[in-house]
Amino acid sequence: MLPLAFILAALLCHFYGASAFTMGNIRMQTKITHYCNLDLLDEHGKPVQCHISNAMETMGLVLPGMDDGKSLTTRQDVFVTKDGQVTLQASPSHPYQYLLTSDTDTHSQTLQLFDKKSFLVQHVAKQQNGPSGRRPVDPSRTLEDDGWVHQGLVDLDGKKLNKWVMSGPQGLDPKSGANFTALAQTGLMANSWTLYTDEADKQIVKLLATNSFENDKVYQETVVTHWEELEAATTVDDAMQHVYSAYEIGDHSADPPTPDQAPLLDARLIKTHVISESARLFFNDGEMPDWRSRKKLRRADQSAPSIDYFDIVEGSASHKYFLAQYDPDHRQLLNLPKFQFPSGCKIGKVTNGCPYCLNIDIGVNTTTLTLDFGMTFVDVHNSDYQAHLKISIDLKWPGAEVVLDFSFEGGGCAVVFQKGVSFARLYIKVCITASGSGKDLLQPDKRTFAGKASISVSFNIQVSATLSATITGEVDVQGAPHNDIKAHGSLGIEVKLLLVGAGVSVDIFGNTVNNQANVWDFVSHVNLHVWVWALFYSHDWPWTWTIWKAGPVTF
C-alpha cells in the first residue's frame, strides 16, 4: 500500500502541476513595461501626472516613450553567468544607444554603447570580503528552496503556466523604524512579485511587480521574449565579449565620451527614467545617429537576435522632447550675472507659489570672484515654511586658482514631497541646519575648503494613524580651486532581505560643471526602489520623482 504522503504529493502534482523550477547559466531577452498608478494624488488632491517632465528646460513636455500617459516600455538582454550578471538595456530615455551593466563579486560597472564604441559611465568596486549581493549559480536550487510559493498551474494568455508568488518587505524595519507595509499602502511602490514559468516549469515566461493593497495592481510587467541555456562555464567576461560582438562594438574607452562623441550621461540618473539635459541636447539639432543596420539584427548563425535601441520617431513624444528648444524668454535672463529659477526667487524668501528656489549670484572685480549659490525647499502646504542651504565663496581673480574665503549657512524645515492614494499618503519632510566659515574649513591640502551641513529627513505615512521614521545625515559642501564648488547629499531608508528589498531616498545636488563658475547643475529627487531575486536572476522596479532639475545652465 502506498504511503499517504506519496499519495498526497501525487494529487498535488496532478492538480497544481510540477514545482521544480531550477536555473543554471541562461540568456534571456525581456520587454519591461512600467505602469503608472493612475490613482495617485498629489499634495493638492489632484491626479499625479507621472508622464510629464518637471525639469526646467522641458517643463510640461511628455517624457520619451510615455505617449499613452501611463506607461514606459524598455528592453533588456540579460546574461546570468557562473560569476555574475550582465544586463544590456535599451530605453526611450536613451535613444540610439545601450547601457551595459556587469555585476560581480568584485565590482558593478556600467558602460554606454554608442556608435560602435563603449564608454565608461560608472565603476564601483565592492569591498573585499564584504557583502557582494551576488548569488552563486546552483543548478540544483529550486524556487521553493528560496521561499517562493507555488500556486499551481493557471491559464494565462491562452497558455498553462506555473504561478509563483513572493512578498516584498513587510512590517517595521528595526534599523530605520520605517513601516514598509504602510509604505506599500500609499500606492507608491509594489510590494509583491508574481513569477510565471512555462507548463514544464523550465523557463521563465513573465514576472509581475504588484501591490497587494490595490487588488494586485500591476506596476511592472516583464515578458520574456527569448530564453536560452548557456554553457555551465560561461562567465561575465564571456558574456561581455558576446555583447561586443553581437552589438558591433569595436572600440572601447575607459573614460566618458566627449560632448561630440556621444550623449553625456549622468551616472546618478542611469537607474532612472530621468534624462540629463546634456544627454538631451546631443539630439537637439535633429540629426538621428542611427548607427546600426536593422538588417544586421539577426546573426548569420541564426542565434538570438540582438535587441534594438529606441529611435526618435517624428511626431512622437520623444521627438518633441529631444528637439525642444528652451524658451528664449528664459534664455534672456541667463545673460545677467546671476541665475534664478523660478525667475525672481530669492533664497529663504520664496513667495511665488513654487516649491523650490535655485539661485546663483556672481560678482567680479580686478582681484576677486565672489559667488553665492543656494537651494531652497518650500513646503508644499505652507510656503512660510522653507529649508535652505546657501554657500558663499571668494576666489582669486583672474584664474580662480586660489580660494580666498568660504562659508555656508542653512536652516528651516519643509515638506518637499507628498503623494499617495485616497486613504494613505507619504509625505517627506526635510530639515537643514548648517553653519561654517573661514579657516576652520580648510583641508590638509591648504587649498580646499569643505564642511558638512546637517540634514534630517522624515518619512511620514498617513494611514489610520501617522507613522514616521526620521533619519539624520549630512550634505557635503566644498569650495576648491578652479571653480570646483558643490553641495551633495543623499539620505534614505532601505531594507535588504535575502531575496527581496525596498527603499526610498531623497537626494540633493548642486555643483559647477567643468570647473566653470558660470555653468551649474541642480538636481533633487525622491527615489523609490524595489527588487527581487528569481533564483540567480536579479530584477528591480525603480521609479524617480523629480523635485527640481535644472542645468547645466550657463549665464
Residues 322, 514 contacting (CB under 8 angstroms): no
Q: Region 528-534: what's the mean pLDDT?
A: 95
What pLDDT is recorded for position 5?
A: 44
Residues 467, 452 contacting (CB under 8 angstroms): no
Q: How far apart are CA 115 and CA 107, in angstroms?
A: 26
Strand partners, 251: 117
**Hey, is 409 helix, strand or coil?**
strand
Q: How far apart are CA 263 and CA 226, in angstroms?
A: 29
The single-letter code of the amino acid at 170 is Q
Confirm whether 30 is domain-assigned. no
**Helix intervals (H) in 155-235:** 180-185
pLDDT tens digits for 304-355? Answer: 789 999 999 999 999 999 999 865 444 444 455 678 888 888 776 666 678 8
Q: How many alpha carbons fall within 13 Å on the CB side of residue 358?
A: 22
What pLDDT is recorded for position 364?
A: 86
pLDDT tens digits for 76-115? Answer: 999 999 999 999 999 999 999 999 999 999 999 999 999 9
Domain total in the chain? 1
- Residue 533 has a CB neighbour count (10 Å cut-off) of 20
Domain with 480 in it: 333-554
Edge to edge, what strands does the sheet with 159-167 contain? 149-156, 159-167, 192-197, 204-211, 217-229, 26-35, 71-81, 84-91, 94-104, 107-114, 117-125, 251-253
446 band by pLDDT with thresholds 50, 70 and 90: confident
Find the Cα–Cα–Cα–Cα dihedral 309, 312, 313, 318, rounded to 10°: 120
Does 1 have pLDDT greater than 50? no
DSSP 508-525: EEEEEETTEEEEEEEEEE
Confirm whether 41 is domain-assigned. no
Region class of 344: left (phi > 0), else alpha (psi between -120 and 50), else beta: left
Confirm whether 516 is domain-assigned. yes
Confirm whether 423 is domain-assigned. yes
pLDDT tens digits for 457-496? Answer: 999 999 988 889 999 999 999 999 988 999 999 999 999 9
Cα end-to-end span (Å), the chain: 88
165 band by pLDDT with thresholds 50, 70 and 90: very high
Element counts in the chain: helices (H) and strands (E): 6, 25
Which grid cell sits at 262? Answer: 556621444
Q: How far apart are CA 27 and CA 88, in angstroms?
A: 11
Residues 118, 97 contacting (CB under 8 angstroms): no
* Residue reference for cell 490595490: 214
DSSP letter assigned to residue 180:
H
Q: How far apart are CA 214 and CA 142, in angstroms?
A: 29
Backbone angles phi, psi at 317, to 5 degrees: -60, -40
Nearest alpha-carbon partner for 273 in 310, 325, 327, 225: 310
pLDDT tens digits for 369-427? Answer: 899 999 999 999 998 899 999 999 999 988 888 899 999 999 999 999 999 999 999 99
The rounded mean pLDDT for the chain is: 90
Backbone angles phi, psi at 304, to 5 degrees: -55, 135
Strand partners, 288: none
Q: CA–CA distance from 157 to each of 154, 160, 291 (Å)?
A: 10, 8, 36
- Residue 234 has a CB neighbour count (10 Å cut-off) of 22
Residues 495, 529 contacting (CB under 8 angstroms): no
**Hey, is 279 helix, strand or coil?**
helix
Confirm whether 82 is domain-assigned. no
Backbone angles phi, psi at 239, to 5 degrees: -65, -40
Query: From the CA atom positions of the chain, what is the Rg in Å?
Result: 25
Q: How far apart are CA 529 and CA 441, in angstroms?
A: 36
Nearest alpha-carbon partner for 252 in 116, 132, 127, 348: 116
130 band by pLDDT with thresholds 50, 70 and 90: low
Confirm whether 347 is domain-assigned. yes
Residues 249, 262 contacting (CB under 8 angstroms): no
Confirm whether 446 is domain-assigned. yes
Confirm whether 485 is domain-assigned. yes
Which grid cell sits at 248? Answer: 558591433
Q: How far apart are CA 238 and CA 236, in angstroms?
A: 5
Stated as kind and residue range, the H or E segment containing 317 is helix 317-322
- Residue 337 has a CB neighbour count (10 Å cut-off) of 13
Strand partners, 282: none
Does 212 have pLDDT greater than 60? yes
Residues 441, 406 contacting (CB under 8 angstroms): yes
Q: How far apart are CA 328 and CA 333, in angstroms?
A: 9
Give pTM, 2 decimals: 0.91
The single-letter code of the amino acid at 108 is S
What pLDDT is recorded for position 524?
A: 96
